[in-house]
Amino acid sequence: MRRLVGIVLAGAVLVPDVAPGAAMAQVQPHRAEYALRLGIAANAPRIGTAVNDLSLDCSGWHLKRDIKTEIALTASWKMSLASKLDGQEPKSGNGFRYSTVQVQNGSEREFKGRVQRQGGELRAEIVQPGAPPNLFVLPPPTLMPVAAIDHLIERLRANAASFPALMFDAEVMGDAFLLDVTEQQRGQLRAGRPADKPESAPKGKSWPVFMTFTRGRQQDTRPLFSVGALVFDNGVLDRLTVDTGLVTVTADLQSLEMRPVPSCPRS
């Protein structure tokens, strides 16, 4: 269940050849708040909120995510989870530094990580207090979080009906996910809920997509979960539906603040 809520938290973001900050980048700085519900029914119970805060300055991208949930599957089985991510990604997309704090039923866990491309290798170091560092090498095509979304938009703009991608995940596994992305028909997308109508809907082109997530390094054949979403060309996501096979969690956009892109001197 922690993994399920973590992926909703992550915005179920995705996938990278174009580096953020380059001339062709599509992602725009923004702050988006989502309502989380258990199930896809129109009257599904609300279980929490998620905030995705993406800002940009001349040093690169700053990503913050904050989720708070409380899930009651039965009268005696309840789970509360809070998770916070604070990460930095350079404009080149060649690295990612982050810290994650997760609190599950009062028990806190903290992780710090660093991913850096060095020569032909993409090296990762994940540290948890009281444990030795976890050092490993990621597949070279693995994309960092912001670069991954940017690539997803580029592929959809190019009318790619389906494509795979590798993305580093800092909240659910601390490893690489292999995504298989397929563009859907509009009629296949889950309808928005009137009660969760956003205050400010994104403007611009959008694509409904369906994605399956498997372990990237082990190359498992069985997906861990699937995600449906509406992807906008500015990097905003809406109508997220996360299905683990056991439970389904949905996330609908409630409020959106678009932010200006800074004017930076050429290096």
Residue 241 resides in a domain: yes
Residue 106 resides in a domain: yes
Which distant-in-sequence residues (6+ apart) come within 8 Å of 111 by Cβ? 99, 100, 126, 127, 128, 170, 174
112-145 residue pLDDT tens: 999 999 888 999 999 998 889 999 999 999 999 9
Count how many domains the chain has. Answer: 1
- For residues 32 and 255, the answer to whether their CB atoms sit within 8 Å is yes
Residue 154 resides in a domain: yes
| Model pTM above 0.85 | yes
Residue 263 resides in a domain: no
What does 49-90 look like in DSSP terms, one character per residue?
EEEEEEEEETTEEEEEEEEEEEEESSSS-EEEEEEEEEEEE-
Residue 267 resides in a domain: no
Least confident of 195-199, 202-206, 244-248: 195-199
Domain range spanning residue 41?
2-257
Residue 201 resides in a domain: yes
Residue 184 resides in a domain: yes
| pLDDT for the residue 157 | 93
Residue 43 resides in a domain: yes
Instruction: Quickly state the pLDDT bin for 21 (edges 50, 70, 90).
Output: very low
d(CA 149, CA 13): 6
CA gyration radius for the chain? 18
